[in-house]
Structure 1
Amino acid sequence: MAQEPRIDVETKAQGVARSLTKEQVQRIADALGQQGVWFATPPARAGRAPRPDHVWDLVGDKPHQGYTATGRAHVYLAEGHSALTRPLIFADGFNYGPSDLDALWTHFNVLYQKGTPGFFDQLRSMGIDVVLLGFHQRQTYIQANAAVAVNCIQRVIEERQGDNQLVVGGVSMGGMITRYALARLENERFDHQTDKYFSYDTPHLGAWIPLVLQQLAYLHESLQPRSDGPGQAELIRSPAAQQLLWGWVENEGYSGPVTTASELRKDFLDDLRRVGWFPMRPYKLGLANGVGTGTGPDLPPGTPVFDLSADPLQLTARIQPDLGELQNVGTIRFGSPVWTSATSHVAAFDGAPGGTLDSWGKIADAMGLPIQDRFRSSCFVPAVSAIALARDPFQWQSDLYLDLGDLPKDETFLDAFCCDISNSAHGGVSKALIEWFLEQLAGW
């Protein structure tokens, strides 16, 4: 039986802050760099979004954990349409704070090939109405935002002229939100009238943010607390992060299992199974920003990325090692170690094939440290997660580098999927993915 992945932290005395002088604490805080929410992605601002034909304010049809989520939809009618006729709902993904639907439009409508219109423009020219779905708190519970998606689906059905079926899905967590919403509606015997479901680099099995970087966010926050807004680890501790991340730690001094560290993740997966795991009625499509060849980016396990030496302070953070026991991922020293972090039985996620996130680069920039370009980005949504490999989310790490080229149909929960030709940025637009998706919609 496989050993449970875990992390172990050793701290001098009762904690880093208590074991150091005020001057040493300030040296570490200064080294860790600027304030702000770490890992949050700023909105894309290239180009301009057209004015939507309709704007809908949405409210979740039921609360989750006492919280009723809200959101908004921008409706863009297809060429020649005066009302919704062939609706496609495209839900926003994981980030901190409210969705920026104009930025979502400009990101996915980028010209990926000279002389070819953007993705959304092509959809509208095909007679497909685009409904962009956003959330006022992207980091809250997936079930709460799924209730907003339910409201959106119901509104589309009410507003639609004719009886054309819907296409429903989203990017990143948006694919999980709509997956849960459709499965919940089927479980409740509601006719969601959806012919196709799609997910765009969605972490069906889980997502990955390097454990040592999660710890550094907590550490910075504990050494230099903010009083004027959210702290560096605000996104990591959010309900959505706990529900989505394969490995999660609750603070810089946590020692213990990382796969089952959050009750929210266990509860969410149990809830997803309760409503049916996946919706059964729609034809299920998946797009992965990672390659399907099993080859990841060049990130040798255990390689130091940050190796700061500013006498007497030394700070080291490493690419996730591959399995093993008590493999060092981070150290802070003032002569002797005052904080060390080591993982056991954790796979080499950073270098796995998948959609990438520039987590290392963002932290290097925050710390003002030089970083090699190849170390800026690491795997965020492994390809095996984006194509919904038929595995238990708590046991799937042994298949991270699986060649998906000849995958038997019963090895994925999807009906069809497409991998990118390179390990591209999570949620990134590429010719291979967009043209495959358009082909899938051509007969709808």
Structure 2
Amino acid sequence: MMAQEARIDVKTQLQKAAGDLSAPELYDLARIAESGPWFGIPAIRSAETARPPDFEWPLVSEYAYLGKYGKGTAAVHLANGHDRVVNPMIFADGFNYGPSDLDALWQWFNQPYSEAGERLFDQLLAAGIDIVLLGFDARHDYIQVNAGVARACIGKVIAERQGTAPLITGGVSMGGQITRYALAAMEQAEEDHQTETYLSWDSPHNGAWIPLILQQMAYFFEFFEALTPGKPSKASLIRSPAAQQLLWAWVEDARYSGPVATASPLRAQYVQELADLGGFPQRPVLLGVSNGRGDGQGPTLPAGEIAFDKKFLGGLVGSATARYQPDFGEQRPVGGMHLGLTMRSSTTTAIAPFDGAPGGMLDSFGQVATTLGIDMEEAKRWSCFVPSVSAIALDFDPIAWNVDLGKDLREVTAEHTALTEFCCNATNTEHSAVTPTLAEWVLRKIAK
């Protein structure tokens, strides 16, 4: 018996006009959904001023991908007592829209993570590690485009480094994918990347997840926006090359019915290109951490349960309903939306309950709810973004995803993961967050 195909089906209906609703009322409703891309990682800034880099390097890729040469910036923070780069760690920025904010990236990873006030980047600097933060002019671009920027950064670090200390190279979220691709491509080209240790922080090695019903809402409500020329809209990040390459399940618009697993050809192509490069670089020790638990316990988000159900003007002109992803099944309802005369309802088939999987979490439901004026309990705003089984590069097919999302990873041995060593967090925490468990493990491994 053949396995069912993971898919979504959308039913569209035209509603009769309700009452004597004027155009201004519809405009006011649409204005609730302000423009700006959904599902990015917000730039969290503390009240403190970010440590200014000792110097910055503009970077331009020497390798075109589909005719594009990536650009970016490296912000260099020298270790205590260093006046030049001696013991470098390249750490690349992750998934989001637009240019990197390296000050915010510094602040995020240097927030106090313990009651004692310990800060990860400060500890690395004190241990003699020079931190090179790698940012990109367009984080939402193709991974291969930004991998060219990473290759330029590696070459620059080697050229500027004093001495012969090997590199630590990696990144957070998609930054771990970008540097993974870059190192593997350099090895295939017989370029000496001089990297001894690769480090990924909650990187979606086998793919990431954003709820399909929320992807559809981004496209649907975008249609009613008063868009500002040149300003990204709600679906800009979802339709970007980076999202299409990273997300295991993706839809191209609010009306799409059909297969969702690797639905974008960009993902299939990226997965194949990565496999052609050997999957991972072969020379470095491969380290990875997951912001999700490793014991198979996900957040308490019952599969198929309603996450939010919003009625606009009493339901006369609009509504938005979203459910947490059901546990497989056939044509299981996941929600719907309507505004004005258009109503859509969606069902999914043969899709695992990703929202409640152990992993690094994103406030996907929360971002949508806030924009649409919906009040939600804090715990219900967050769902799985990078499943633990993906962050630790567990050995399974990244196309078919024939894996138990709740697998106990505590007994996983080296032959079942592409990484040399990995660490899962004690709880399911926000994607990319620094926690005592992860920080202490990383420090033991690289701050020798």
Gaps of 5+ in 2: none
In the other structure, the counterpart of 1:387 is: 392
Task: State the Cα deviation string for residues 362-418 of structure 1 (Å, max 9, x = none).
Answer: 111101111122210000000000000011111225321100010121110000000
Flag the 1:207–1:129 CA change in 2: closer, same or farther, 3 A.
Answer: same
Residue 133 of structure 2 aligns to a residue in which SS?
strand
In the other structure, the counterpart of 2:290 is: 288
Task: State the Cα deviation string for residues 311-367 of structure 1 (Å, max 9, x = none).
Answer: 334432111111001111112369999311111001100000000000111111101
In the other structure, the counterpart of 1:42 is: 42
Residue 186 of structure 1 aligns to a residue in which SS?
helix
Q: Does 1:297 align with 2:302?
A: no
Flag the 1:336–1:61 CA change in 2: closer, same or farther, 3 A.
Answer: closer
Give the Cα–Cα distance (whole angstroms) in 1 for the partners of residues 424 and 9 of structure 2. 35
How big is the shift at 1:426? 0.1
Give the Cα–Cα distance (whole angstroms) in 1 for the partners of residues 84 and 337 of structure 2. 60
How big is the shift at 1:271? 0.9
Task: State the Cα deviation string for residues 114-136 of structure 1 (Å, max 9, x = none).
Answer: 33431111111111111010001
Deviates more, 1:394-403 or 1:196-205: 394-403
Residue 8 of structure 1 aligns to a residue in which SS?
strand
In the other structure, the counterpart of 2:250 is: 248
Task: Indicate if the aligned counterparts of 2:285 and 2:420 stay in contact, CA closer than 8 A.
Answer: yes
Q: Does 1:398 align with 2:403?
A: yes
Q: Does 1:123 align with 2:128?
A: no
Which one of 261, 286, 293 corresponds to residue 259 of structure 1? 261
Give the Cα–Cα distance (whole angstroms) in 2 for the partners of residues 163 and 419 of structure 1. 32
Which one of 413, 419, 425 corresponds to residue 424 of structure 2? 419
Task: Indicate if the aligned counterparts of 1:32 and 1:220 stay in contact, CA closer than 8 A.
Answer: no
Residue 55 of structure 1 aligns to a residue in which SS?
strand
Give the Cα–Cα distance (whole angstroms) in 2 for the partners of residues 76 and 207 of structure 1. 30
The letter for the 1-side match of 2:385 is F
Give the Cα–Cα distance (whole angstroms) in 1 for the partners of residues 75 and 281 of structure 2. 25
Q: Does 1:342 align with 2:338?
A: no
Flag the 1:211–1:16 CA change in 2: closer, same or farther, 3 A.
Answer: farther
Q: Does 1:361 align with 2:366?
A: yes
Task: State the Cα deviation string for residues 199-244 of structure 1 (Å, max 9, x = none).
Answer: 0000001011100000001001123351432211000000000000
How big is the shift at 1:176? 0.1
Give the Cα–Cα distance (whole angstroms) in 1 for the partners of residues 372 and 287 of structure 2. 40
How big is the shift at 1:31? 8.6
RMSD of aligned Cα (Å): 2.2
In the other structure, the counterpart of 1:157 is: 158
Task: State the Cα deviation string for residues 94-141 of structure 1 (Å, max 9, x = none).
Answer: 101110111111110111123343111111111111101000100000
Alignment of 1:124-273 (within 5 A): 124-224=125-225, 226-228=227-229, 229-273=231-275
The letter for the 2-side match of 1:143 is Q
How big is the shift at 1:308? 2.0
Task: Indicate if the aligned counterparts of 1:7 and 1:257 stay in contact, CA closer than 8 A.
Answer: yes
TM-score, normalization by structure 2: 0.94
Residue 148 of structure 1 aligns to a residue in which SS?
helix
The letter for the 2-side match of 1:41 is I
Residues matched between the structures, number:
439
In the other structure, the counterpart of 1:329 is: 334
In the other structure, the counterpart of 1:95 is: 96
TM-score, normalization by structure 1: 0.94
The letter for the 2-side match of 1:366 is T
Q: Does 1:106 align with 2:111?
A: no
Flag the 1:82–1:271 CA change in 2: closer, same or farther, 3 A.
Answer: same
Flag the 1:53–1:27 CA change in 2: closer, same or farther, 3 A.
Answer: closer
Task: Indicate if the aligned counterparts of 2:31 and 2:226 stay in contact, CA closer than 8 A.
Answer: no
Give the Cα–Cα distance (whole angstroms) in 2 for the partners of residues 322 and 94 of structure 1. 27
Task: Indicate if the aligned counterparts of 1:29 and 1:223 stay in contact, CA closer than 8 A.
Answer: no
Give the Cα–Cα distance (whole angstroms) in 1 for the partners of residues 143 and 315 of structure 2. 45
Which one of 275, 278, 281 corresponds to residue 276 of structure 1? 278
Q: Percent identity?
A: 50
Task: State the Cα deviation string for residues 137-188 of structure 1 (Å, max 9, x = none).
Answer: 0000000000000000000111111111000000000000000000000000
Task: Indicate if the aligned counterparts of 1:111 and 1:117 stay in contact, CA closer than 8 A.
Answer: yes
Flag the 1:305–1:274 CA change in 2: closer, same or farther, 3 A.
Answer: same
Residue 158 of structure 1 aligns to a residue in which SS?
helix
The letter for the 1-side match of 2:355 is D
Flag the 1:27–1:329 CA change in 2: closer, same or farther, 3 A.
Answer: farther
Flag the 1:395–1:115 CA change in 2: closer, same or farther, 3 A.
Answer: same
How big is the shift at 1:38? 1.4
Flag the 1:225–1:4 CA change in 2: closer, same or farther, 3 A.
Answer: farther
Deviates more, 1:46-55 or 1:420-429: 46-55
Give the Cα–Cα distance (whole angstroms) in 1 for the partners of residues 423 and 4 of structure 2. 32
Task: Indicate if the aligned counterparts of 1:353 and 1:383 stay in contact, CA closer than 8 A.
Answer: yes
Flag the 1:182–1:34 CA change in 2: closer, same or farther, 3 A.
Answer: same
Task: Indicate if the aligned counterparts of 1:347 and 1:397 stay in contact, CA closer than 8 A.
Answer: no
Gaps of 5+ in 1: none
Task: State the Cα deviation string for residues 27-86 of structure 1 (Å, max 9, x = none).
Answer: 895396322211223311112222211110000121111111100001111111121111
How big is the shift at 1:290? 0.0
How big is the shift at 1:275? 1.4
Q: Does 1:80 align with 2:78?
A: no
Task: Indicate if the aligned counterparts of 1:8 and 1:256 stay in contact, CA closer than 8 A.
Answer: yes
Flag the 1:328–1:29 CA change in 2: closer, same or farther, 3 A.
Answer: farther
Flag the 1:323–1:166 CA change in 2: closer, same or farther, 3 A.
Answer: same
Give the Cα–Cα distance (whole angstroms) in 2 for the partners of residues 40 and 311 of structure 1. 29
The letter for the 2-side match of 1:269 is V
Flag the 1:32–1:390 CA change in 2: closer, same or farther, 3 A.
Answer: farther
Flag the 1:302–1:149 CA change in 2: closer, same or farther, 3 A.
Answer: same
